[in-house]
Structure 1
């Protein structure tokens, strides 16, 4: 009995021949291992909790694919939770995962909220890796891109096309949205934080380098990351006395909303307004015109996050690592010269 338990549970010393005999007997009897009992003996569940902000967003669905493929290769199972950018849902999901004794967590945290509870979970021994968004001061690995540089390069691309009036459509939590309205967008990377703030700061710095003073009325949030939020934000931008001639939406769902608003306003892209989006989702090549985007290696980001988590689960005690992957500007047909100069 002891030999069979060790063979089926994957712990202790068992010969290869004994493992094979036990496996054949288990198959014949239709045996299913008791995962909970095994985890109590080994201290492992071989389960990873993944907490994402919005699974409908192409970025997150691609990241999950990268995580799941890497997990499968490592003999791990992935359990997924979606927060809809809601901090209470995030708390609840993480609490359930910890109670179910997952081996570790991959978390894309919601915007602009206190992270004391995550710090406590890490201190209690549950490894955590942050996906896409970093939290300053939290001792956890993270995997993502250089958001500042990516937005900086996208803005420089629009400037090179002749645009000086460039708008930004971002989604951010309501409690930090006021940070977008500081004169000159000073400190926006610190106040807004995470991807939205860092990308807005990259946009700001590209304008400043070109001798253009950033306008706070050109940086608009519809209050969230849904397509309808971006539609409202874009219409707000285009209703200005001097509307932007180009728009930079800061993720793929927001990009969809921008294009929808442009169509509903009876405008044409890029004749009336140019657009550069974030994330090379499948739809970006099929719309008219095909969308120029900042492409991220999303599946690789997910796979790297899983690999870093497994390293922590296996006992790595090195200092937190913030891994940054490269982006690519994919040029298509959604950018042209400003209408006044076309």
Structure 2
């Protein structure tokens, strides 16, 4: 039979009110009393029910999760899975559980917002690569505290990498190696990162006073290996092909490298390739991939802290945090 708060009160000789105050971390309880109650709680294996805790604290200690990625590989996506892990570690320390939602409650289809209201979550974190989702907008515009990752909004908290800095680092590195004919395999222009890295590419190339033939910008789709392959095939048949390629993701960079090698060309001797993300396998392919590293640990941890602060009323304004990135030099780029 489960241990109750009444059992703790009886075992310690304190009132139910005093025990409740200790369990909910009220300050107006003496240290010796607190220690005795907590020791008894531990010895008797008492766990407060989530329902009782909700009545006491007015919180469910549950955070809703909206997770959408374009490749259809779910939590195997190395960028988002790394962020989710660091986010999870921070919120768990504060006693929160994560609820990944479906679009149904029983047999009835529900919106994200309806689902979160039904579950009574305290806040929502959004992991998404796509900009255009009407149901997502409803969540962001609601009173429910939220934070979005790898997207942008003026209506909620935001955490994402510095995509402009990333493209600047990549292109400056390639030009320092002597490259002038630089192509871009772009991410889908319905994604925040795809749009931002495209803008960054155009801005950096202009600053470096380099010409961009229209044929040097190719849509690689939703950041897949196949998308990188198809884009690189278009670049290889040009009369004046590029000497370097900046891909908007490591997966597209891998696809590009495969096509280059299949054509009998060498990376980096004939064409240099640089990716974006620094996924786990990027240092194990041949050649080892030069790339832009996103700090997934900081993105996830900071997003968690921002959301918890919003839930606890510690911040009145929306927070927008842009996380710096770094260039990881390996073997897929060389001097021209």
Same fold (TM over 0.5): yes
1:300 paired residue among 298, 301, 312? 298
Q: In the alignment, is residue 311 of structure 1 matched against residue 309 of structure 2?
A: yes
In the TM superposition, residue 40 of structure 1 has moved relative to its aligned partner by 4.6
Give SS of 2:308's match.
helix
RMSD: 3.0
- Give the aligned partner of residue 219 of structure 1: 217
The yes-or-no answer on 1:160 pairing with 2:160 is no
What is the Cα deviation at residue 80 of structure 1?
A: 4.1
Could you tell me which residue of structure 2 aligns to residue 285 of structure 1? 283
Q: CA deviation at 1:147?
A: 0.8
Query: 8 Å contact 1:129–1:141 — kept in the other structure?
Result: yes
Say if 1:332 and 1:122 are closer, same or farther in 2 by CA, change over 3 A. Answer: closer
Where structure 1 has 5 or more consecutive residues not aligned to the other structure, the ranges are 84-90, 178-191
Relative distance call for 1:207 and 1:97 in structure 2 (3 A) is same
Matches within 5 A, 1:1-342: 1=6, 3=16, 6=20, 10=24, 16=34, 17-18=36-37, 20-21=39-40, 24-25=43-44, 27=45, 33-36=48-51, 38-54=53-69, 55-80=75-100, 95-115=114-134, 117-135=135-153, 138-172=154-188, 177=189, 194-338=192-336
Asked if the contact 1:53–1:82 (Cα under 8 Å) also holds between the matched residues in 2, the reply is no
Residues matched between the structures, number: 306
Per the alignment, do residues 43 and 72 of structure 1 end up closer, same or farther by CA in structure 2, a change over 3 Å counting? same
User: Which SS does the other structure have where 2:242 is aligned?
Assistant: coil
Higher mean displacement: 58-67 or 212-221: 212-221
1: CA distance, partners of 2:221 / 2:140: 31
- Structure 1 stretch 211-220 or stretch 299-308: which is displaced more? 211-220
The offset of 1:103, in angstroms, is: 1.7
TM-score if structure 2 supplies the norm length? 0.79
1:144 and 1:248 map into 2 onto residues whose CA distance is: 20
Q: Deviations over 1:67-99 (max 9, x none)?
A: 12212222222334699xxxxxxx955653443
How far, CA to CA, are the matches of 1:327 and 1:82 in structure 2?
Answer: 33
Residues 279/228 of structure 1: CA separation in 2 closer, same or farther (3 Å cut): same
Please state how far the C-alpha of 1:59 moved relative to its aligned partner: 1.4
- Check conservation: 1:11, 1:42, Cα contact below 8 A: no
TM-score, normalised to structure 1, is: 0.78
